[in-house]
Amino acid sequence: MDLIYTILVTLLTLAVLVAVHEYGHFWVARRCGVKVLRFCIGFGKPLWSRTDSHGTEWAVAAIPLGGYVKMLDEREAPVDSAEQHLAFNRKPVLQRIAVVAAGPLANFLLAIVAFWGLYLSGESGYVPVIGEVSANSVAEVAGLEPGQEIVAVDGQETPTWQALSFRLLDRIGDTGTISFAVKYPDSDVIYESEAVIERWLSEQEEPDLYGGLGISLYRPAVLPIAGEIVPEGPAERAGMESGDTVISADGIAMPLWSDWVNYVRARPGESISVEVERGLQRLVLNLTTDRVTENGESFGRVGMSVELPSMPPEMLRQFQRGPLESLGAGLQRTSDLVVFTLESIKKMIQGLISPKNLSGPITIAKVATASAESGLESYISFLALLSISLGVLNLLPIPVLDGGHLLYYTLELLAGRPVPEKIQALGYQVGMFLVLGIMMVALFNDFSRL
């Protein structure tokens, strides 16, 4: 059932992104007087199709990994003289540029609309207050202290965890200085400091932003309060119930959930005398852990989860924006992500970011499903991010991509004549090799993560 759900969410995500992208091409082509022969979601044999009054076939094909808009074009097939004025190749170069650019621009427009809706409905996030600072870390060198709120990084405001993460993501692979602006609780005094970084986190496959900085953000202490009790597990057999608080184990105090977990893991198959608090009562339960062996290592397990604490209300920061302010914020967010994507590609080419960060369809499927399970807002935000990535990648000047076509048409506009067909054909071969190579690396990374 989980697999079916993942497949359906992934197909929906890809269908929306491809449909928006191809409709951008289609809409502008129609307005430039180009005859569109087919609008297709997917590749291969059509599973469904219909033809409208303009002679355009609308289809859904069997292989859901993309889509295309097929236009009347003398380079692909002979065109009747009566329809030559409707052929794409006969249109002025500026119109051809507009048709090709419309697909990626439609993806950016989708992101702007998505962010506009999210900002209009209200935005919230946790205040980035430092919990701990590691010794000899970037944060310690910069003089950051527990309890301080990080209000800006490199002059860019960081009002929430998400904003802070985005600013730190932008510095991966960089060498130079990173600056911080912080303040103490209930104070308006801003303290500024900086530290030196060198190829920061460039070697990490999955960069730990906060760990690389040497901080952990404040979270309430996770107390050893039982959440879900696994049926017929050691905890249930011992009589433990959801909501019980573990006070001690074998007479040793258990102030935190991590203390209890570590104690249990170190005692596979052993008996533990557990003192728990249930309401106003104190009970002593005798519990024998299960022995679990994974990767040659044995550890104890009792079959219970933790009841996670809630963040204090004062740690939640909320933003309300009107329609115009939300639109401006959506435009800014989209612009920031476009620049960030381009910078990330540049750093990857320079070797400042590991190519193992490239992700393919398997990772997209996993993240799409996780975001959908987290709620509509999370899914829409992921859809907007993916739409921006699709738009940027399609604008790269690689033949076979929209950006490659735009490169050829721009050269034609400047030179006053088309790029020779032999050069175009060679470029398409090189472009296909690059695209397939990138896809293979992304798929390899996906399977490696599995």
Active site residues: 22
Angle at 413 between CA 412 and CA 419, to 5 degrees: 5
Per-position b or e across 263-301, b if 16+ CB within 10 A of its CB? bbbebbeeebebbbeeeeeeeebebebbeeeeeeeebbb
User: DSSP string spanning 53-122?
Assistant: TTSPEEEEEEEEEEEEEEE--TTTS---GGGGGG-GGGS-HHHHHHHHHHHHHHHHHHHHHHHHHHHHT-
Q: What is the gyration radius of the CA atoms in the chain, in angstroms?
A: 28
Residue with tokens 């070797």: 351
Angle at 183 between CA 181 and CA 186, to 5 degrees: 155
Residue with tokens 């203390």: 259
Q: 169 is written with which tokens?
A: 């993501």
- For residue 304, give Cα distances in angstroms to 269, 279, 354: 16, 19, 38
* First-to-final CA distance of the chain: 19
